[in-house]
C-alpha cells in the first residue's frame, strides 16, 4: 500500500493558558521539510512538534500551525481596578473641593474619567503548557495526516495499476510485431540486393553478415525484457506493506521505463512499434506525474 503526500490533520486541547489547536497540512516534496509556526511564548515547542511529525511522516512539505485561544484560559481576562490609585485620586479631588469650597461629593462617575484606574491583567511570562501535551497533539495530528494520505494513496494506486496494465498491452503489441518487422526488412533487403546482383557480383557471406547486423540493430527484445522487469518491480513496490516509503524507488523505475521506451522508439523502423513506443512514453509520463505525490 502506498501513501500520498497530500494530507491534513488537526488536534485540540484545553490548557490553563487557553485552548490549543494544531493544524498540519502536507504536500509533495523530495524530503521531509517542516515549517512550524507557534504563538508568542510557544516557540520552545517547535522542536517537539517537528520531531512528533517526523515520527509519522517520512517525506513531504509539512506546514504546522499551533494557535492559542486565550478566551478559555483559567486566569481572568477582564480589566483590573487599581484601588490604591483610585483612593489617591479621591483624596486629591476632596482636597480641591475643600480648598475651593465646591459643593457636592466625589462620586464614581467622576473617578471613572481617569482611564488609568483600570488596567488589563498582566500576561503570563510563559504559558503553563506541558511539553508532553504538545507532543501528544503532534502525534494525534500526524496520525490523522497519515490516515488521509493512505486513503488518497489507495486511489493513486488504482490509477497507477491501470497505467501498468496499459503499458503491458503496448509491450505485447510491440513484441508481436517485432519478428514480423525483422522478416519483412530482411526480405526487402534481399530483393534490393537481388536486383543489384543482376549487374554486379555479390558476396553472399557479406550479405548474410549485413542482414545479421541489421537484425541485431533493430532487435528490441532486450528493451522489452528490461521494461517488463521495471513494471514488475513497480507493481511489487505498490503491493508492499507500506512500512517504508517507496516514492523515490518508483521515481527511479519511471526514469528507467522512459529510457527503454525511447530506445524502443529509436529501433522501431516500423509504424506499429513506433506507435507502441509513443503510447508507452505517454503512460510513463502519466506515471511520473502521479509518482511525484507518492511518499
Looking at the structure, do residues 104 and 46 belong to the same domain, yes or no?
Answer: no
Q: Is residue 124 domain-resident?
A: no
Looking at the structure, do residues 98 and 185 belong to the same domain, yes or no?
Answer: no
Higher pLDDT, 269 or 248: 248
Q: Are 233 and 287 in contact (CB under 8 A)?
A: no
Q: Which of 66, 184, 174, 56 is nearest to 129 (CA)?
A: 66
Conformation bin of residue 134: beta by default, left when phi > 0, alpha when psi is -120 to 50:
alpha
Looking at the structure, do residues 46 and 93 belong to the same domain, yes or no?
Answer: no
Q: What is the mean pLDDT of residues 122-151?
A: 85
Q: Is residue 1 domain-resident?
A: no
Looking at the structure, do residues 279 and 210 belong to the same domain, yes or no?
Answer: yes
Tell the residue number behind the cell numbers 507502441, with chain if given.
276
Q: Is residue 2 domain-resident?
A: no
Report which listed range, 55-69, 94-108, 199-213, is most confident: 55-69
Looking at the structure, do residues 224 and 135 belong to the same domain, yes or no?
Answer: no
Tell how strand 118-119 and strand 80-81 pair up. antiparallel
Instruction: With a cut of 60, say whether residue 74 has pLDDT above it.
Output: no
- Structure confidence by residue, pLDDT tens digits, 18-48: 899 999 999 999 899 999 999 988 889 999 9
Lowest mean pLDDT among 127-131, 181-185, 194-198: 194-198
Q: How confident is the model at residue 268 (pLDDT cuts 50, 70, 90)?
A: confident
Instruction: With a cut of 80, say whether residue 266 has pLDDT above it.
Output: yes
Q: By CB neighbour count within 10 A (0-12 exposed, 13-18 middle, 19+ buried), where does 259 fall?
A: middle
Q: Which of 69, 71, 64 is nearest to 10 (CA)?
A: 64
The C-alpha cell of 133 is what? 501535551
Looking at the structure, do residues 112 and 136 belong to the same domain, yes or no?
Answer: no
Q: What is the mean pLDDT of the chain?
A: 86
Domain that holds residue 109: 80-119
The C-alpha cell of 171 is what? 509491450
> What Rg, from alpha-carbon coordinates, does the chain have?
38
Looking at the structure, do residues 173 and 285 belong to the same domain, yes or no?
Answer: yes
In this structure, is the dihedral angle defined by the CA atoms of residues 110, 113, 115 and 121, taken in order, positive or negative?
positive
The whole-angstrom separation of Cα 163 and Cα 221 is: 21
Q: Is residue 52 domain-resident?
A: yes
Q: Are 32 and 51 in contact (CB under 8 A)?
A: no
Q: Is residue 125 domain-resident?
A: no
DSSP element (H, E) containing 23:
strand 18-27
pLDDT computed for residue 200 by the predictor: 58
Looking at the structure, do residues 224 and 100 belong to the same domain, yes or no?
Answer: no
Looking at the structure, do residues 35 and 140 belong to the same domain, yes or no?
Answer: yes
Q: Is residue 194 domain-resident?
A: yes
Q: Is residue 221 domain-resident?
A: yes
Instruction: With a cut of 80, say whether residue 72 has pLDDT above it.
Output: no
Q: How confident is the model at residue 10 (pLDDT cuts 50, 70, 90)?
A: very high
Q: Are 220 and 174 in contact (CB under 8 A)?
A: yes
Looking at the structure, do residues 137 and 28 belong to the same domain, yes or no?
Answer: yes
Higher pLDDT, 125 or 249: 249
Looking at the structure, do residues 283 and 202 belong to the same domain, yes or no?
Answer: yes
The total number of structural domains that make up the chain? 3
End-to-end CA distance of the chain: 11
Q: Residue 65 belongs to a domain with what CATH number?
A: 3.30.230.10
Q: Is residue 231 domain-resident?
A: yes
- Structure confidence by residue, pLDDT tens digits, 253-262: 999 999 999 9
Looking at the structure, do residues 174 and 231 belong to the same domain, yes or no?
Answer: yes
Amino acid at each position: 500500500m502506498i501513501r500520498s503526500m497530500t494530507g491534513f490533520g488537526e488536534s485540540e486541547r484545553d490548557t490553563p493558558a487557553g485552548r490549543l489547536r494544531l493544524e498540519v497540512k502536507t504536500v509533495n516534496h523530495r524530503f521531509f521539510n517542516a515549517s512550524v509556526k507557534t504563538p508568542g511564548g510557544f516557540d520552545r515547542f517547535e522542536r517537539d512538534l517537528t520531531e512528533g511529525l517526523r515520527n509519522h511522516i517520512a517525506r513531504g512539505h509539512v506546514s504546522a500551525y499551533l494557535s492559542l485561544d486565550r478566551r478559555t484560559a483559567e486566569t481572568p481576562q477582564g480589566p483590573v481596578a487599581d484601588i490604591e490609585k483610585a483612593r489617591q485620586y479621591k483624596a486629591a479631588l476632596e482636597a480641591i473641593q475643600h480648598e475651593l469650597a465646591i459643593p457636592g461629593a466625589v462620586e464614581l462617575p467622576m473617578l471613572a474619567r481617569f482611564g488609568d484606574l483600570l488596567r488589563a491583567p498582566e500576561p503570563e511570562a510563559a504559558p503553563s503548557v506541558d511539553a508532553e501535551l504538545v507532543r501528544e497533539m503532534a502525534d494525534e495530528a500526524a496520525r490523522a495526516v497519515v490516515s488521509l494520505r493512505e486513503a488518497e494513496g489507495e486511489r493513486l494506486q488504482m490509477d497507477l495499476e491501470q497505467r501498468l496494465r496499459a503499458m503491458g498491452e503496448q509491450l505485447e503489441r510491440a513484441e508481436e510485431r517485432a519478428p514480423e518487422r525483422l522478416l519483412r526488412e530482411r526480405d526487402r533487403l534481399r530483393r534490393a540486393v537481388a536486383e543489384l546482383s543482376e549487374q554486379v557480383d555479390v558476396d553472399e557471406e557479406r550479405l548474410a553478415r549485413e542482414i545479421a547486423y541489421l537484425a541485431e540493430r533493430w532487435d528490441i527484445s532486450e528493451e522489452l525484457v528490461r521494461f517488463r522487469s521495471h513494471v514488475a518491480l513497480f507493481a511489487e513496490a505498490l503491493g508492499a506493506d507500506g512500512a517504508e516509503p517507496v516514492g523515490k524507488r518508483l521515481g527511479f523505475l519511471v526514469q528507467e521505463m522512459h529510457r527503454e521506451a525511447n530506445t524502443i522508439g529509436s529501433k522501431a523502423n516500423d509504424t506499429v512499434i513506433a506507435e507502441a513506443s509513443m503510447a508507452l512514453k505517454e503512460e510513463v509520463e502519466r506515471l511520473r506525474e502521479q509518482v511525484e505525490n507518492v511518499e
